[in-house]
Amino acid sequence: MADQLRFASNAAGQTCSIAGGTFRFGPYLRQGLPVEPINNNDTVVITQTGAAIAAATGAAAVGWAYDTRSGQFIMNSSVADPNGRVYATH
């Protein structure tokens, strides 16, 4: 997934460092995935359920979480911000 965001891709999801021809989608994030601010991690946990993503807890709570069916993309952490709102709900 990280390559599909950083490079041009075709309809099949294959990537290429040079855009053109069938590689006409993207790039979307030219500098790669940003690290999330709590654990400084850019790991992405990918699911394909279509169900709402619940933020991880403990050691699994790093990086980001993305569901390919629903398109939901969250910070994968159940830590709350200074106002008490869980970061994954922002």
- pTM value? 0.75
Identify the helix (H) or strand (E) that includes residue 46: strand 44-47
- Residue-wise pLDDT tens digits, 48-79: 999 999 888 887 888 999 998 999 999 998 88
Residue with token string 């980001």: 64
- Residue-wise pLDDT tens digits, 10-47: 999 999 999 999 999 998 888 888 998 888 899 889 89
Assign 11 to helix, strand or coil: coil
Separation CA 58–CA 67 (nearest Å) = 20
* Main-chain phi, psi angles of 36, to 5 degrees: -80, 150
Sign of CA dihedral 75, 4, 59, 34: negative
Question: In this predicted structure, what is the pLDDT of residue 5?
Answer: 83
The token pair that represents 77 in the structure block: 């952490």
**Does 2 have pLDDT greater than 80?**
no
Helices (H) and strands (E) in the chain, counts: 1, 5
Assign 60 to helix, strand or coil: helix
